[in-house]
């Protein structure tokens, strides 16, 4: 999931809860039809939300559509815990990094108007940015500029993020930081690049970045609830955001929305996101060449499948485009699959996962697969003896910066990104393990003598994969 700064989910159903079985049990019934009916999608969606979202806390709203036919539109959880106000599908949420696709489309509208060139240097729009002559607008849009992301500055998200800053002052926060790499020579998802995208929009249009988007996109498309999430304004329908502290649910941490800027400062609703998806992906926003540029990963962004503000996304083998968002108090995911013109929007008013392995992206992908009549299989553990598990232990290194440790803990194979947290894997077949999200798979690769020499990661469980070789490094201390 792509985030504004970090990454969430949800509880009290708007549609009256029914005594359903687990989501996995419902999946078996849905699998019989292709594509699924609205009734089947609704049954599965209600059950999935009930399985995923505890009662009495923040929640989630969901929309699943086939073209402009809404298959399910519902909510579970509370918009305001203190007052016991339930969530409804009409309410307004912070989008986090789902904002980026709107900002990118805004730039492409300026390209079509001849006011911006994708290969223009940043210096044309931001006069004094270090090495601005070598950084292109294209590189800002696809995260290949090398500019350091301000949200990664140690301690920044605790106090500095509370300040109300102008675009100029925001740029001053990160412009003199050491770069991650020379422009165009690497890929690193970062939010500073989209602050600069906002600055390009402002310089080329003569308007504040969000005022330009309102004039060029929101009003023409009838997006009545999509706007800048100004913390100093009253926003009709806007829900409260929450986080998880030591004592359970707590009010979200404060930030001034001037700082997420064009990287993550918009708010919107389910219905607006459906309208946006259909317009963007069906030729109503951009000319064909512009849309193709926006949705075609290139250069160093190709391996990560990232275009301009949007990336490749999958649901059980069906390819499309999507983006996630995480911002104080909220987590989101918006998915579009050309098959069936399928839209899934998932918006949560909590920035903390409400159950292990549950997040908006995973829910969106499950719902899309069910809508297409090809749901993900249930995760059923198979027995694996201790000696076989032990054979997988080791360090698997992708590059000097990225490596993972496989280790057996209490009879369970676990994976840990070095420097990160440990997750338990579930064996589902010989040398094949499921991740906690139930969607992704890890497959061990063996040589002719049966020794484990690599691991292959399938983010969607099938299809495209990433191979990481086992190294000779010793396992680090747990």
d(CA 66, CA 337): 10
Question: Which structure tokens are listed for 210?
Answer: 């969000």
3-class DSSP state of 417: strand
Sheet order of strands, 441-446 included: 422-424, 412-417, 402-409, 394-399, 466-470, 452-458, 441-446, 432-434, 426-429
- 326 contacts 5 by C-beta, under 8 angstroms: yes
Question: Which structure tokens are listed for 79?
Answer: 């918009």
pLDDT of residue 10: 31
d(CA 39, CA 100): 33
Local confidence pLDDT in tens for the 478 residues of the chain: 344 443 332 322 222 222 223 444 444 444 444 799 999 999 999 999 999 999 999 999 999 999 999 999 999 999 999 999 999 999 999 999 999 999 999 999 999 999 999 999 999 999 999 999 999 999 999 999 999 999 999 999 989 999 999 999 999 999 999 999 999 999 999 999 999 999 999 999 999 999 999 999 999 999 999 999 999 999 999 999 999 988 899 999 999 999 999 999 999 999 999 999 999 999 999 999 999 999 999 999 998 999 999 999 999 999 999 999 999 999 999 999 999 999 999 999 999 977 877 899 999 999 999 999 999 999 999 999 999 999 999 999 988 878 999 999 999 999 999 888 899 999 999 999 999 889 999 999 999 999 999 999 999 999 989 999 999 999 998 8
Question: Distance of CA 106 to CAs 100, 230, 451, Å?
Answer: 10, 19, 52
**DSSP 8-state class, residue 63:** E
Q: Counting Cβ atoms within 10 Å, is residue 158 exposed (0-12), middle (13-18) or buried (19+)?
A: exposed
d(CA 375, CA 422): 27
- 446 contacts 452 by C-beta, under 8 angstroms: yes
Question: Which structure tokens are listed for 355?
Answer: 């159950």
- Residue 29: its H or E element: helix 23-30
Question: In sequence order, what are the residues at sequence separation of 6 or more whose Cβ sits closer than 8 angstroms to the Cβ of residue 299?
Answer: 142, 144, 184
pLDDT of residue 356: 75
Sign of CA dihedral 62, 70, 217, 116: positive
- 407 contacts 393 by C-beta, under 8 angstroms: yes
d(CA 188, CA 191): 10
pLDDT of residue 368: 98
Angle (deg, nearest 10), helices 99-112 and 192-205: 40
Q: What are the phi and psi torsion angles at 271 (to 5°)?
A: -65, -40
pLDDT of residue 29: 41
d(CA 209, CA 28): 47
């Amino acid at each position: 999931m792509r985030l504004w700064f970090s990454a969430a989910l949800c509880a009290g159903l708007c549609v009256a809860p029914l005594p359903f079985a687990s989501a996995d049990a419902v999946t078996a019934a849905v699998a019989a039809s292709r594509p699924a009916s609205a009734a089947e999608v609704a049954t599965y969606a209600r059950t999935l939300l009930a399985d995923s979202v505890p009662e009495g806390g923040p929640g989630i709203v969901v929309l699943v559509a086939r073209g402009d036919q809404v298959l399910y539109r519902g909510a579970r959880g509370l918009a305001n815990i203190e007052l016991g106000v339930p969530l409804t599908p009409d309410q307004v949420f912070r989008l986090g990094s789902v904002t980026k696709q709107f900002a990118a489309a805004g730039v492409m509208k300026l390209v079509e108007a001849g006011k911006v060139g994708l290969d223009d240097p940043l210096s044309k729009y931001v006069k004094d940015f270090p090495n601005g002559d070598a950084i292109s607008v294209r590189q800002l849009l696809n995260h290949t500029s090398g500019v350091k992301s301000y949200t990664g500055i140690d301690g920044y998200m605790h106090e500095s993020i509370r300040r109300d800053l102008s675009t100029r002052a925001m740029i001053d926060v990160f412009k003199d930081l050491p770069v991650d790499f020379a422009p165009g020579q690497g890929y690193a998802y970062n939010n500073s690049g989209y602050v600069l995208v906002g600055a390009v929009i402002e310089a080329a249009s003569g308007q504040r970045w969000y005022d330009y988007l309102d004039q060029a996109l929101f009003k023409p498309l009838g997006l009545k609830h999509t706007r800048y999430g100004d913390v100093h304004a009253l926003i009709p329908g806007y829900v409260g955001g929450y986080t998880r502290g030591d004592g359970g649910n707590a009010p979200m941490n404060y930030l001034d929305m001037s700082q997420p800027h064009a990287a993550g400062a918009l708010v919107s609703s389910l219905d607006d996101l459906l309208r946006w998806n259909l317009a963007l992906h069906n030729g109503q926003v951009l000319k064909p060449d512009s849309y193709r540029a926006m949705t075609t990963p290139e250069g160093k962004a190709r391996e990560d499948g990232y275009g301009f503000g949007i990336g490749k996304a999958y649901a059980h083998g069906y390819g499309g485009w999507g983006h996630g968002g995480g911002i104080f108090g909220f987590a989101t995911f918006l998915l579009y699959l050309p098959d069936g013109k399928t839209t899934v929007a998932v918006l949560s008013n909590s920035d903390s996962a409400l159950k292990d392995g549950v997040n908006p992206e995973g829910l969106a992908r499950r719902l899309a697969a069910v809508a297409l009549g090809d749901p993900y299989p249930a995760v059923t553990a198979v027995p694996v003896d201790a000696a076989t598990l032990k054979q997988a232990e080791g360090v698997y290194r992708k590059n000097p910066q990225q490596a993972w440790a496989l280790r057996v803990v209490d009879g369970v194979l676990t994976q840990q990104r070095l420097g990160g947290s440990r997750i338990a894997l579930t064996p589902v077949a010989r040398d094949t393990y499921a991740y906690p999200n139930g969607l992704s798979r890890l497959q061990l690769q063996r040589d002719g003598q049966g020794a484990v020499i690599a691991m292959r990661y399938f983010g969607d469980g099938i299809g495209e994969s990433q191979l990481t070789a086992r190294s000779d490094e010793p396992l680090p201390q747990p």
